[in-house]
Structure 1
Amino acid sequence: MADLEVIDWSAENEQQFWNGESGALNEILSGPCTTYEALDNALRSWLHLVAQGRDQYLSSEDDIASCSQKLLDSAIFNANKDYVRTQIIYSLLQEDEYGPLHGIANFLLLDGRTEESTFRCMVCEGCFSRLLDLIKGCGECDHRLHRLLLELMYEMSRIERLRPEDLMQVDDGFVTYLFQLIEALSDDVNDPYHYPVIRVLLVLNEQYMVASTSVAVDPTSPSSPMTNRVVKVLSVHGPSFRTFGENIILLLNRETETSLQLLILKLLYLLFTTSATYEYFYTNDLRVLLDVIIRNLLDLPGEMNVLRHTYLRVLAPLLAHTQLGQPPHYKRDQILSLLDILRGSGNAHFMPPEPTTLRLVERVAKIAWLLDNDRFEETPSPVLFGSLSLSQSASGVSLIAQVSEKPGIMTPSLKSDLAQESRDRREHEGGHGVGKQAKSLRPHRSLPEVPGHSHGIPMTQSPNVTRVHIHGSGQKKLPPKLPPPRRRTKLKTPNAGESLDTNETLPASGSTTAS
C-alpha cells in the first residue's frame, strides 16, 4: 500500500476537512473502490489527509478517533474488513513518519477494542516488536504518539498472549526506561501519574507469569523459565523507582474494572513473595494498601469469588513478609474482624463461604502476629510462604496467573447494591402514600422559646404548677380542667313529698366535681 500513488487530497482548514458530505474526508471514503488498487489508493489518501490534519488542526485524540470511526463506518471498510485491517497492519510495520503512524495506531486501537481478531493478527504479524522500537524512539519527539503507542501495546497485550520471541525482545533497558518515565514529572495535566506506562508494566508482568506457567505444558515454550524483567528491575533498583509503587496503590484504590485490579494484584503477589522486594514499598503505602484491601473485601458481593480469592492470596504475604509484620501491628483488630466476617461467623442470614475462601482465610489467620500480639516484644520472624526467585517457577504462580476477566467488566459493589435496593424500596413504598409524603415535605417551624425572665427580673414558678415541653424548649402552664357537660334529659317527675329545688346553681369554675 505504501508504493501506490496518492491523490493529493488536502484541506486548508478544519471546516474543509469535515464539512459534512462535501468534506475532503468524506469524499475519500465515499468514492467507488472496485479493485484492490483503488482501495489501496483510498486508504493511502485517508492516511495522508489524517496525518496532514493532525499537524494542523486535529489537536485532540478525539478528533483522530473520529477520523478512524469514519473509516470503520465507511462502505469500503465494511465490504473489505479483513483486507483493510491487513493493509493497515502492514503500514504499521513499514511506516516511519509520525503523522501517518498516529492515524494507523489510532485506527488499530479503536478497531481492536471492538474486534479482538485485530489484536490477534497484530501479534501474529510481529507488531509487538515494532511497537517496542517505536515507543523507545518517539518518546522525546512526539508525546501524543508515544502515549497512543503505549495504549495500543497495553490493549493488545492484555487481550492476546504474546509469543516467547516477543517477550525475549524486552530487555532490562526498556523496563528501566518505563520506570524512569514514571519517576519523571508528567507533561500531561490529564495524566499526572503516567497511567499508560504503568498499565504496560502491569501487563508485561502478567505475560511473564503466564509464560512461566507454560514451560511444562507447552512444547513451543523455552526450555528454561523466562526471567520476569519487571520484578528483576524492582529487585535490583527498587528504591530508585518507588513512585511506581505509590501509583499502583492509588490506582487500585480507585479502580473499578476487574481486569485491571487483577493485573495490580498479580504484581503485588510477586513483590510480596520475592525476598528482594519484601520492603520495596514505604510503610505508610503498605498501610494504605491494607486499608484498600480490607475495604474491597468487605464490599465484594458473594458471587465475586475469583477476585476475593486473589485479594486473600495477596493479603497473606503482605502481612507476613513486609513491614506490617513488625510492631506496632497496624489494624490487627480490623483484620481479625474481617476474617470472622469472611468465615461467616455469627451470620445466619447468608450461605456459608465456599471451601477455597475458608482455606485462604485460615492461611491469613495463621500468621503469627495475628494469633498472639502480646508475645512479640521484639520484631517477630515472619511466617514464610515461600520466597520466589527471579525466574518464577510454574508451581509458584500458576494459580494466580490463570485468573483473568474480560476487559470492561466493572466490579459490582455490595454497598452500592444495598443502597440501590434501599432507594428502590423507599420509592416503592412512597408510591402508595403520596399524600402522606407530600404532607411531610411541608416545612416545620418550631415555636419560640419562652424566656426565663421578664425585663431582667427572673420569673419564679409555683412548685405545684405542672409544666410541659413544647418541641423540646420552653414551658407552658396547663389550663384548668373543664367540667363535664350537663346532660340534657327530661325532667324527672318528683315523687310525692319531694320538691324540686329551682335555685340549683352551676358548679364554680375550676371545680372537679360533677353533679
Structure 2
Amino acid sequence: MLPWSPTSSATSSSRHVHTRDEISHFWDYLESQLEPCDCTDEAKVNEALVCYLQIATESYHDYIVNDQDLYRTALTIIKSEVFESNREFCISKMLSLVSIETLEMNMKFIICYILLCHCKSDASSLDYMLEYQGFTVIYNCLYSQFAYLDKYDVEDNGRGRELPTEPVTDLDLEIVEDFKKISTVLLDLLFQILKYSKCEHSSLQKVDSFFVCYMMRTVRSDSLDDIFSNSKFRVLLALNEQYMISLQKEDLNNLVLEYLLNDEISRNFVELLLLQFNRVVDKPLQIMMCKLIYLVLSLDKETALHFFYVNDLHVFIDVLIRNLTNISEDEEGLRNTFLRVLYPLLKNTEWSSTYYRMEDLVKILDHLSYLDNICQTNEVKPEHLVTSKLSLKCLNEIKLMSQQGQSEKTIRNKNDYSRRKLDKNGNLAYVELNKRRSPPAPPPPPQS
C-alpha cells in the first residue's frame, strides 16, 4: 500500500444516493455555519470559518461530488458576510491551514479550491496571499505533491524515480489521482500569482531544479485535454516570464530555459508547445509561448538551429503565417509579438536551408509593411508602426528574404514604411491617402 490513506468520505463504489430533501438539508446546514455573527470578533469569525471548512471536508465525495458542488461550496463562503468583512483574516487563516503538512488532504483541496475561486473573481486577493507568504505556502505544498507523484505515479511514462515494490491496487491509483487533483488546483493558484503579480526575487530563488524538471518532463504531448498536464505547462510559461522580468535586475538562473534546452527532459514539452501554439486562442497564453520561443531562438545560432526538428519548424511557420494573416486590427500588439518571433526563426534556424514557404512569407510581410494595408482608419497607432517596421526588418535584414523580395520588387527603403504622410498630430492626412491594396488571399496549405 502507498503511504497515504483516504479519509472516511464515501468512495465512488459505496456512495449513498441521497434524496432531494437530504441534499437540500445539507446545503442549508452548511450555509447556516456562516449566518451573521459579530464580524468584528476574530474568534467568532475563526470558529465559523473552521466549522464551514470541516463540514465541507467531511461531505466531500458524499454530498459534494462534482464541479458544480465544489463551485457552490466556494461561492457560498466567499460571498458570505463573514468572509467579505474579514477577507484578510480568512485568507491568512486558510493559508496557515494549508501550510500544515499533516492537514487532511481533502481539507487542503477544499481550501485551495476556495482560494482559487476567490483569486479568479477578485484579483486583489492576490495581494493578501503574497502578504501572508502565499507563494511559499503553495510552492511547498506543491513540492510535496510532486515528490510523492514522482515516486509513486506508475503512469508517469515509466519515469518515476522509484516504483512500488508491491502490486499497485485500485486504491493506490485512486490516491495518486487525488494527489493530481489537488496539485492541479495548486498549480492554477501558482499560475494566478505568477501571471498577475510581481514575484519577489526571494520567491523565485525558492524554486529549485526538481520542481521545474518534474513539471517539464511529465507534461503530456499526446493529449490537450489533460488538465493536470496543461496546468503544469501554463505554470512553466508563467515562471519563464517571471524569470525574464527578474533577469532585468537580478542575476538569476532561468531554470525553465535550462531544462527546455535538455532534449531528454523537454521532448514532450516542446511537442505540447507546438500543439498548443497551433490550437490555443487565449491571447495571454499565446504571448507567453512566443516569449519562451523567442528566448530560445535568440540565444545563439547553434541552439536555435537544433531546437526544432525540420517538420516541427515547418508546422510552426504554417501557424505563424496563418496567425499573421488572420489577426484583427484590434489585436495588432499580438501581431507584433508573432513578428518578433519570426525574425530570429528565419535568421537562426534551418529555415535558412529549407526556405519553407518563402514566397508566402514575402507576400504577407510585404502586405503588412504598408500602413495602408493595416490601418482601417486615418489614425496610425504605435502598434501599426511596429508591425510595419518589424515586417521590413524581416524583408530587408535577412539576406535570403531580401533576395527573394528584390526579385518580386517588394523591398523598399526601411524608413519608407508608409505611402501616407502623418500630420503634426500623428494622424494620417486624407489628401495623401492612396487606394488601399486588397489583402492577399490566405496562402494555400503546404503540399504534402
TM-score, structure 2 length as denominator? 0.72
Shift of 1:257: 2.2
Whether 2:367 is the aligned partner of 1:341: answer yes
Shift of 1:192: 7.0
Deviates more, 1:249-258 or 1:292-301: 249-258
> 2:263 aligned to 216, 229, 238, which one?
238
> 2:403 aligned to 350, 372, 383, which one?
372
Correspondence 1:262-277 to 2 at 5 A: 262-275=287-300, 277=303
CA contact (8 A) 1:18 1:25 kept: no
CA contact (8 A) 1:102 1:145 kept: yes
Shift of 1:355: 2.9
SS in 1 for 2:65: coil
Structure 1 residues 344, 50: CA separation in 2 closer, same or farther (over 3 Å shift)?
A: same
Q: 2-side partners of 1:25 and 1:94: how far apart?
A: 24
Partner of 2:340: 313
Q: 1-side partners of 2:68 and 2:191: how far apart?
A: 19
Instruction: Answer with 1 or 2: which has the greater Rg.
Output: 1
SS in 2 for 1:326: helix
Partner of 2:56: 50
Letter in 2 for 1:371: S
SS in 1 for 2:60: helix
Partner of 2:153: none
Partner of 2:128: 121
Q: 1-side partners of 2:22 and 2:49: how far apart?
A: 16
CA contact (8 A) 1:242 1:281 kept: no
Partner of 2:37: 32
Q: 2-side partners of 1:192 and 1:243: how far apart?
A: 16
Deviations 1:192-223 (A, max 9, x none): 7811010000000000011112x1xxxxxx4x
Q: 2-side partners of 1:83 and 1:134: how far apart?
A: 21
Q: 1-side partners of 2:89 and 2:143: how far apart?
A: 29
Deviates more, 1:279-288 or 1:79-88: 79-88
CA contact (8 A) 1:17 1:23 kept: no
Partner of 1:108: 115
Letter in 2 for 1:339: L
Structure 1 residues 281, 129: CA separation in 2 closer, same or farther (over 3 Å shift)?
A: farther
CA contact (8 A) 2:221 2:272 kept: no
Partner of 1:511: none
Letter in 2 for 1:93: S
> 1:207 aligned to 229, 242, 247, which one?
242
Partner of 2:99: 93
Partner of 1:291: 318
Partner of 2:410: none
> 1:359 aligned to 376, 389, 395, which one?
389
Q: 1-side partners of 2:25 and 2:63: how far apart?
A: 17
Q: 1-side partners of 2:350 and 2:283: how far apart?
A: 28
Whether 2:294 is the aligned partner of 1:258: answer no
Structure 1 residues 314, 183: CA separation in 2 closer, same or farther (over 3 Å shift)?
A: same
Shift of 1:347: 4.9
Q: Taking CA–CA contacts closer than 8 Å with sequence separation of 6 or more, which of the two structures ends up with the larger relative contact order?
A: 1
CA contact (8 A) 1:122 1:128 kept: yes
Shift of 1:173: 1.7
Structure 1 residues 263, 184: CA separation in 2 closer, same or farther (over 3 Å shift)?
A: closer
Q: 1-side partners of 2:199 and 2:307: how far apart?
A: 28
CA contact (8 A) 1:55 1:99 kept: no
> 2:211 aligned to 129, 153, 174, which one?
174
Q: 2-side partners of 1:229 and 1:348: how far apart?
A: 39
CA contact (8 A) 2:129 2:135 kept: yes
Structure 1 residues 55, 22: CA separation in 2 closer, same or farther (over 3 Å shift)?
A: closer
CA contact (8 A) 1:21 1:27 kept: no
Quote the RMSD (CA, aligned, Å): 2.9
Structure 1 residues 56, 339: CA separation in 2 closer, same or farther (over 3 Å shift)?
A: same
Instruction: Tell me the percent identity.
Output: 24
Q: 1-side partners of 2:183 and 2:22: how far apart?
A: 25
Shift of 1:14: 5.4
Q: 2-side partners of 1:51 and 1:290: how far apart?
A: 49
Q: 1-side partners of 2:27 and 2:365: how far apart?
A: 66
Shift of 1:23: 3.0
Shift of 1:345: 8.0
Q: 2-side partners of 1:200 and 1:348: how far apart?
A: 34
Q: 1-side partners of 2:25 and 2:267: how far apart?
A: 50
Letter in 2 for 1:66: R
CA contact (8 A) 1:300 1:308 kept: yes
Q: 2-side partners of 1:368 and 1:193: how far apart?
A: 44
Aligned residues: 353
Q: 1-side partners of 2:24 and 2:374: how far apart?
A: 66
Partner of 1:391: none
CA contact (8 A) 1:239 1:280 kept: no
Is there any run of 5+ residues in structure 1 with no aligned partner, and where?
1-9, 216-221, 375-515
Shift of 1:306: 1.9
Deviations 1:108-148 (A, max 9, x none): 11111122221122223222222222222224341110111
Correspondence 1:428-467 to 2 at 5 A: none
Deviates more, 1:280-289 or 1:25-34: 25-34
SS in 2 for 1:44: helix
Partner of 2:170: none
Q: 1-side partners of 2:46 and 2:371: how far apart?
A: 67
> 2:188 aligned to 139, 151, 169, which one?
151
Q: 1-side partners of 2:94 and 2:134: how far apart?
A: 11
Structure 1 residue ranges (4+ consecutive) displaced by more than 6 angstroms after TM superposition? 10-13
Partner of 2:329: 302
> 1:191 aligned to 212, 217, 226, which one?
226
SS in 1 for 2:226: coil
Shift of 1:326: 1.4
Name whichever structure is richer in helix by fraction.
Answer: 2
Structure 1 residues 326, 240: CA separation in 2 closer, same or farther (over 3 Å shift)?
A: farther
> 1:332 aligned to 358, 382, 385, which one?
358
Letter in 1 for 2:390: L
